[in-house]
Structure 1
Amino acid sequence: MRASWSSLAAVMMAALAGSTVPVFAAPLGLPPVPIPADNPQTPAKIALGAALFNDTRFSADRKVSCATCHDPAKAFTDNLAVSKGFNDLTGTRNAPTLLNAAYMTTLFWDGREPDLEGQSKQPPINPVEGGLPDHETILRIMRSDPTYVPAIREVFEVEPAAVTITHYARAVAAFQRTLAAGDSPFDRYYYGGDKTAMTDSAIRGLAVFTGPGRCVSCHVIEQTQALFTDNRFHNIGVGFKRIHGKEEKIAAEFLVAKKGGADVDVAVLTDPDVSELGRFAVTESLTEVGAFKTPTLRNIDLTAPYMHDGSLRTLQEVVEFYDNGGRLDPGDPLSGFLSGGIRPLGLLPEQEADLVAFLEALTSPGVAGTPSSVLASQ
C-alpha cells in the first residue's frame, strides 16, 4: 500500500485516539525510511511529535512553531525567500521542505546537524527563530500540560518530571520521519511502468534531466528509487558574490569566534556574510566555502522560492540559472570557486520548457501547496 501525507495524518489522528496503527510503508520511488535503533517509531510517539511540532508556545512570542516555517499547507515550507521567526525577525536562509527529510544524511543547508533529533532542538532557541533563551520553556510545558503528561508516560515510560530535551527531540523527529512523499507521476512512469503517468513534455524533460542538463549528477535517480539528491555539498554560485574577495577574512574571523565558543547555529542565521560560508562553517575547509547541500527535487513545484537564500522565484528561473552556468562568464575569476560541472549548458528554449514540465511531475499526491508559477504571479 502506498502512503501519502493524508494517510499519514490519519495514522497520527488514530494514534491520538489510542488506536493501534502499523508503521506505514514507503511510497513508490522511495526506499524504506531509516529508523535509528534508539528512537523506534510508534503511533503514539508520532502523535506526540505532531503535537509538539505545532505548539506555538515553544517560542518567545508564543506565535511560532515548527509548522510556521514548515507549513503542511505549503509542502512543509513557508514560500518565503528567508523565514520569519518570532516578532517577524528574519534569518538568512530559505526554509527547506521537511518532506523526505528522513532520508537526509545531514540536516540544514550546511549539514551542521547529523540527524533529525539534533536538528529539532535548534530552532526554538535560535534568536531569529523561536527566540527562547534555552529549552526550559519547552520542558516546563511538557511536564505540566494535561495532554502531554499522559502521552509522555505512554511513549517514553517516564514521569513528566524526568522529561529532557532529548525526549522532545525524539518525538518531533519521529513525526518528521512520517513525511515521506513519493508516488509522483514520475514514480508511476519510471518505477510503476505507467507510460501514461507523465505528459510528453515531461518525458522529454526527463531525457534532458539525465542527458544534456546533467541534473542527475547531483539530483540522483537510481534503479529502484530516487531521492533526487546526492546528500553532498556544492558551490553553484548562489550568493557567493556577496563575500567573494573577502571570503578568507570572513572565514578567519568566523573561526576565531567559533573557537571562542560562538554558536554556529546562531551565527549562520544572523550574519549574512557568515551564512554564505556554507559548509565551511561545519568542516572549516576553505574548499567548501560557499558550498551548500543538494536539496531534494521532490515536490519542488510547491516549495518556491528556491536556493539557500530564496533568490530564484520560479522553476523557469532555476533552469535558466543552471543553463547560464551559474550566471557567471567562464572567464569570471569567481568561476574558479564553483563546483565542477557548473558551466553553461546551451539548452534550447523548448528543452528548458520540457525540463520544467518534468520538475512539475515530481509532485506527490496529497501534498498541499501552491505551484511556483502561481506564487510568482501573486
Structure 2
Amino acid sequence: MRTLTLLVLASTLLSACGSDELVTVPKSFPKMKVPADNALTRERVDLGRRLFFDPRLSRTQEIACASCHDQKGAFADPRRVSEGVEGRQGTRNAPPLFNLAWNKSFFWDGGAPTLEHQVTGPIVNPLEMDMRMEDVVSRLAAGASYVHQFEAAYDQKPSPEGVTKAIASFMRTMVSGESRYDRFKEGEKSALSESEKRGMDLFFSERAECFHCHVGFNLTNNGFHNNGARPDDPDLGRERITEKESDRGKFKVPSLRNVAVTAPYMHDGSLETLEDVVEHYSKGGEGHPNTDPTIHPLELTAQEKADLVAFLRSLTDEAFLEDPRFQPGR
C-alpha cells in the first residue's frame, strides 16, 4: 500500500520528512493532529518507548505498560482482564493500541479526554501499577540516563507531565493501516478471497448493519453504544462518566483493525473468538434493557457467519505486529 512518510516538527500537524521516520501514515488516513504543547520529536518518542517498557513505573517494579499491551496482539492483552501488581485483577479488557492520534476519547467509558490523560490512569490505578506519579518521578530522577533523556526531550528534569507526554508521544506513532483489506481498497483485487469479499459486502450492508458503528478509515465511529451486553453486567459503562441512566451499559466502539489478534473481545473480555462475536450479534445480544436499536436478531446463515469472520481476519496488519519501531532497545 502506498504510504506517506511523515515526521512531526514543532507544529500541531505532521509534515513530510526523512527516511528514518517517526511515524508512517497511510495516504487514506486523515491528517494526524498532535497537541501543540507535545509535538513529536525523536527525543520524546525514544523516551516514551523506554518508559513504556520500564517496569519501574509500577510499585513492585514488575509491571510495565507493555506487560498488558503485547505487540503480537496489536498491543492488546490476551487475558480476559489484565493482572496488575501482586496479581490484582482489573475490571475491563485492555484494549489494543494503534491509531490513537485519531481517537476522540480514551478508556472503554471515554473517561480520558486526551492520550496524555489516559497514560496516567494505569500508573495510578491500585489494580494496575499502583504508583503515585511523584514516586515514579523520584525513581526516574535517580538515574542519570533518564535525567539526560528528559532534558533532551523536554528541557527539564523528570516530571509527571514529562512522563505522560513522552509515553503519549510514543503511542501516537503506533499507526496501523497496511492490512489486506487496505490493499484491496487500493486496487489489489486479489488481496481478498471470495469469502472475504462476501464478508466485506455483508459487513457494509443493511443486512448485517456492522458499518453503522464500525465505519471510516479506522472502522469505528468513536461513539458509545450498548451492544446488547448481559442484563446483569455490573459495569455502568459510559454512565460512570456522564451520570446519565440512558448511558448505562454503553461502551466505546473499538476499531476493528487487527481484530483477529486481539482476543478476547468486548469490554469485559467475555467472548473468546470472532465466531463468538459474530454469533452474539446474529442473535441480537444478551437482552440488556438499554441495547442500541441497531442491535437486533439478524439470523445470519452459517455461510454468512463464516464470511464475516473471514473478512474480519483480513483486517490484520502483519507489518504492524512486527515493526521494530515499537520494540524496546532501539
TM-score normalised to structure 1 length: 0.78
Letter paired with 1:64: I
Q: 1:208 — aligned with what? A: 202
Q: Tell me, which stretches of 5 or more residues in structure 2 are unaligned?
A: 8-17, 323-330
> For 1:169, which of 164, 171, 177 is the aligned residue?
164
- Root-mean-square deviation (CA, aligned residues, Å) is 2.0
> What does 1:69-108 correspond to in 2, within 5 Å?
69-108=68-107
TM-fit CA distance, 1:35: 1.0
Q: 2:221 — aligned with what? A: 230
Q: 2:193 — aligned with what? A: 199
CA separation in 1, counterparts of 2:251 and 2:259?
17
Kindly indicate whether the alpha-carbon contact (under 8 Å) linking 2:24 and 2:175 is maintained by their aligned counterparts in 1: no
Letter paired with 2:163: Y
Kindly indicate whether the alpha-carbon contact (under 8 Å) linking 1:112 and 1:282 is maintained by their aligned counterparts in 2: yes
Q: 308-317 or 99-108, which moves further after superposition?
A: 99-108
Q: 1:57 — aligned with what? A: 56
Q: Tell me, which stretches of 5 or more residues in structure 1 are unaligned?
A: 9-18, 244-272, 329-333, 370-378
Q: 1:280 — aligned with what? A: 239
TM-fit CA distance, 1:146: 2.3
Kindly indicate whether the alpha-carbon contact (under 8 Å) linking 1:28 and 1:188 is maintained by their aligned counterparts in 2: no
Q: 2:45 — aligned with what? A: 46
> What does 1:112-261 correspond to in 2, within 5 Å?
112-132=111-131, 134-158=132-156, 160=157, 163-190=158-185, 192-211=186-205, 212-221=207-216, 226-239=217-230, 241-243=231-233
TM-fit CA distance, 1:87: 1.2
> For 2:319, which of 360, 366, 369 is the aligned residue?
366
Letter paired with 2:279: E
Higher fraction of strand: 2
Letter paired with 1:206: M
Letter paired with 1:353: A
Deviation string 1:225-264 (CA, Å, 9 cap, x unpaired) is x11111110011224x225xxxxxxxxxxxxxxxxxxxxx
Corresponding residue SS for 1:57: helix
TM-fit CA distance, 1:22: 4.2
Kindly indicate whether the alpha-carbon contact (under 8 Å) linking 2:178 and 2:319 is maintained by their aligned counterparts in 1: no
Deviation string 1:145-196 (CA, Å, 9 cap, x unpaired) is 22211111111112x2xx3211111100000001010111111111x11101
CA separation in 1, counterparts of 2:85 and 2:72?
20
TM-score normalised to structure 2 length: 0.89
TM-fit CA distance, 1:23: 4.0
CA separation in 2, counterparts of 1:20 and 1:297?
29
> For 1:312, which of 268, 271, 274 is the aligned residue?
271
CA separation in 1, counterparts of 2:86 and 2:229?
28
Identity %: 39
TM-fit CA distance, 1:137: 1.9
TM-fit CA distance, 1:24: 3.0
Deviation string 1:285-319 (CA, Å, 9 cap, x unpaired) is 11001100000000000000000000000001100
If asked which structure has higher relative contact order (CA below 8 Å, sep 6+), I would say 1
How many residue pairs get matched?
310
